[in-house]
Structure 1
Amino acid sequence: MDKEPDVAHEVLRSIRQIVRRISEHSKFLSSEAGLTVPQLMCLKAIGEIDEAERDAEITVAMVGKAVQLSAATVSRIVDRLVTAGLVSRERRAADRRKVCLSLTAAGLERYQTLPTPLQDTFVERFAALSPTERGTLLSSLRRISALMDATQLDAAPMLMPGEDIKQSDRD
């Protein structure tokens, strides 16, 4: 029983290390790319969709699906990318209600030099684990989330520090 507080402290230390790594990487992305994590992920998604489906009519909904965020949230993020001159919005002549997104020349240049987001590295390494180990990690993290009363919190699969996705992109 004497070891139990030590184990709990080691779990808390590991959680803190994860939180700090996310914060450090977010700051790195911001300084390297000049973008928030959500902006980087949306810019990356637009570029990847365009590469995969040349001449695709990229919509906010498509980007939202790619980054697993609501269309309303992505729309606010895209507003910032448009203001920064990285993305353009264009209404289609055939259907004026449909707004399509594309990278500007500056956006394409930025897309081609984007640093790798932490979640991409994590997903790649996680996929290399055995199915049993992945399942064990998921079960353990879900249990930790429950122990911290965090299971009811809405969270996108986007690693970023402190604030929620909607708040962070207002900065």
Structure 2
Amino acid sequence: MVEAPLDDAVLRAIRRIFQRVAEHSRQLARDTGLTVPQILVLKAVATGEPTVGQVSALVHQSPATVSRIVDRLERGGLIARRRGSADRRQVRLTLTPEGVAQVATLPAPLQERFLARFHALPVDERHGLLGALEHVVALMDASDLDVPPVLSASDDSDPPAPRHRPDR
């Protein structure tokens, strides 16, 4: 079949993307004990004292998903919840001292490195790449999937974040 080499090349390219995302997610988990979504939430909390809703908007996840991630990070000793002083109904998120130490050593997620390289491309090339990727999504019957803009093989069903213990 004449199309076989082209077919194989396309499938291999798609597979390489899947594999790279999965490898990166596993490596981050091994190195940090955290999933990509947990890392993104920690980084969002490090920007100030946001609410779950504000973090949700920053990391493009639902408030329910962010709440579950925050629960795990809180159990791991990396995040604390505190009531607002002006409005006791409002709950603010803060990093614990262990959380601050963890954020200071976090590697950049794959998507940050990818986006830096993507932004270096000419605008017309970026639009062409987006068009090609959207076409692949349609060919894979995945257009109706609502997913956050996060390159990760993990989701919010991952195990709890372990408690970070600085080296002694």
**What stretches of structure 1 of length at least 5 have no aligned partner?**
51-56
Secondary structure of 1:95 counterpart:
coil
- Deviation for aligned residue 1:167: 3.0
- Deviation for aligned residue 1:154: 1.6
Which whole-Å CA distance do the structure 2 matches of 1:25 and 1:8 have between them?
Answer: 26
1:26 and 1:37 in contact (8 A); partners too: yes
Secondary structure of 2:92 counterpart:
strand
1:69 and 1:156 in contact (8 A); partners too: yes
One of 71, 81, 95 as aligned partner of 2:73: 81
Which whole-Å CA distance do the structure 2 matches of 1:105 and 1:170 have between them?
Answer: 19
Q: CA RMSD in A?
A: 1.6
One of 109, 131, 136 as aligned partner of 2:101: 109
Secondary structure of 2:149 counterpart:
coil
Runs of 4+ in 1 over 4 A off after TM superposition: none
2:76 and 2:160 in contact (8 A); partners too: no
Give the % identical residues: 47
Secondary structure of 1:89 counterpart:
strand
One of 45, 52, 59 as aligned partner of 1:67: 59
Which whole-Å CA distance do the structure 2 matches of 1:92 and 1:63 have between them?
Answer: 16
**What stretches of structure 2 of length at least 5 have no aligned partner?**
162-168
Using CA pairs below 8 Å that are at least 6 residues apart, which structure has the higher relative contact order?
A: 2
Give the alignment's TM-score, normalised by structure 2: 0.90
Distance 1:156 1:170, change over 3 A: farther
One of 138, 142, 145 as aligned partner of 1:150: 142
- Deviation for aligned residue 1:66: 1.1
- Deviation for aligned residue 1:62: 1.3
> What residue in structure 2 maps to residue 32 of structure 1?
31
Secondary structure of 1:10 counterpart:
helix
Which whole-Å CA distance do the structure 1 matches of 2:35 and 2:21 have between them?
Answer: 12
One of 84, 89, 94 as aligned partner of 1:92: 84
